[in-house]
Amino acid sequence: MSEFREAVIDLDAVQANVAHLRSLIGTRHTMAVVKANGYGHGAVPVARAALAGGADWLGVADITEALALRAAGIDAPLLAWLHGPDADFAAAIAADIDLGLSSALQVRQAAAAATLLGRPAAVQIKLETGLNRNGVDESDWPEVLGLAAAFERVGRLRVRGVFSHLANTSAEDDLAAIASFDRGLDAAVTAGLTVDLAHLASTAAALRLPAARYTMVRLGIGIYGQSPFDDEDAAALGLTAAMTLRGRVAAVRRVAAGAGVSYDYLWRATTDTTLALVPLGYADGVPRQAMNTARVAINGTQYPVVGRVAMDQFLVDVDSDPVAVGDVVVLFGDAAAGVPTAAEWGAAAGTINYDIVTRVGSRVPRRYVGALAENTAGASAVDAAGVPHADAAESAGA
Ligand SMILES: Cc1ncc(COP(=O)(O)O)c(C=O)c1O
């Protein structure tokens, strides 16, 4: 019996997506981006699946996220690139985590932590090339790259590479960023650094902008089987959605024409109809904005979400179909299963698939399926909609 509400995560899909993307992109190195709890899928199992698919680096935003991967026993090369003023560089260095550094101050802090520990810090310098988030400004490249090189010469730092991030705004803007990044690579060489790792592209540019590939790409959304593009979906890219968000119908009610539904009566039945109650709400990441626009699949048919999405639940108009309490409701999953996609939910809610999968709340148990699933005795077979077969082993994880 599967959960009242759950996110089924297909680790085989993650592995296959990574392998497929690698075959298309062909860079020497591939970083799997597993920040934000693996975009909501679970950082540790996703990291393992991505490594099995051929990724040789992992990337996260914070040191805390990186330490959690190390604590789980993952010893693959790992980069963390977003730090507050009190970030624990010493803990990161001690755990063999590469630090992405964005300022002269951070370079000095990493060198100081390395001095205290008596071992060099592995670092990668983040250059600002047009996104205007963190990263060293071009005017500061000589100073910061020179400082890093000086610390490298005295054994405090090991500068493994330089990187930046694209705005994905237009081909023209991204080409300008590539030109800027190329100047940054020259500046690194001028400063006396050997750039082993040069990386700029996330999924979108890795797929569409070969000039942005350099020696490594950082793949996030694609490894989860989601498209980064508005004009090309995951299936067209050969990707399989790894997450299926589902629940079981909690109540069924027949209402008369004119009945108001959910808070504020923002939807009223136009005919006599049947409503099915789905036990997921905005506390679980279901966007409140998807009211009256998103769809769910029940027993192979898609039905509209009607009325306000509440904290724990929302309603679906199933017309006169024989939907029963306990029937499986799929909010989104892989399109090949005939269910709505995270991208469709994103469109319905005025947001993007990244947001839809990442926001799935902690109250929703993640259940891992596929050959790599943890704690499973044997393969836990599921059908394309994420529904377990009768003999399927199940594993509930964090
Ligand atoms: C610095 C950096 N690199 C790579 C990625 C992965 O991007 P995507 O999920 O579009 O592949 C992200 C995600 O936002 C990021 O912040």
**How far does residue 60's CA lie from ligand 1's centre (Å)?**
9
User: What phi and psi, each to the nearest 5 degrees, are found at residue 268?
Assistant: -125, 140
3-state helix, strand, coil in the chain (%, to 5): 35, 25, 45
Pocket test for ligand 1, best of 165, 168, 181 (most atoms within 8 A of CB): 165
**How far does residue 204's CA lie from ligand 1's centre (Å)?**
9
| pLDDT at residue number 3 | 79
Beta bridge partners of 163: 126, 199
**Ligand 1 pocket residue status of 135, Cβ below 6 Å:** no
**How far does residue 382's CA lie from ligand 1's centre (Å)?**
29
**Ligand 1 pocket residue status of 136, Cβ below 6 Å:** no
CA dist 287 to 130, 137, 294, 313, Å?
31, 37, 10, 11
Tell the residue nearest (CA) to atom 6 of ligand 1: 220
pLDDT digits (tens, 9 = 90+) for 195-218: 999 999 999 999 999 999 999 999
Q: What is the dihedral of CA 168, 103, 355, 213, to 10 degrees?
A: 40
Q: DSSP characters for 141-189?
A: HHHHHHHHHHHHHTTSEEEEEEE-----S-HHHHHHHHHHHHHHHHHHH
Cβ contact 241:334 at 8 Å: yes
pLDDT digits (tens, 9 = 90+) for 215-262: 999 999 999 999 999 999 999 999 999 999 999 999 999 999 999 999
| pLDDT at residue number 372 | 86
Scan for tokens 């350099």, then name that residue. 214
pLDDT digits (tens, 9 = 90+) for 9-19: 999 999 999 99
pLDDT digits (tens, 9 = 90+) for 266-301: 999 999 999 999 999 999 999 999 999 999 999 999
| pLDDT band of 389, cuts 50, 70, 90 | very low
Residues designated catalytic: 35, 263
Q: How is residue 21 written in tokens?
A: 């993307």
Q: If you average pLDDT over every residue of the chain, what do you get?
A: 93
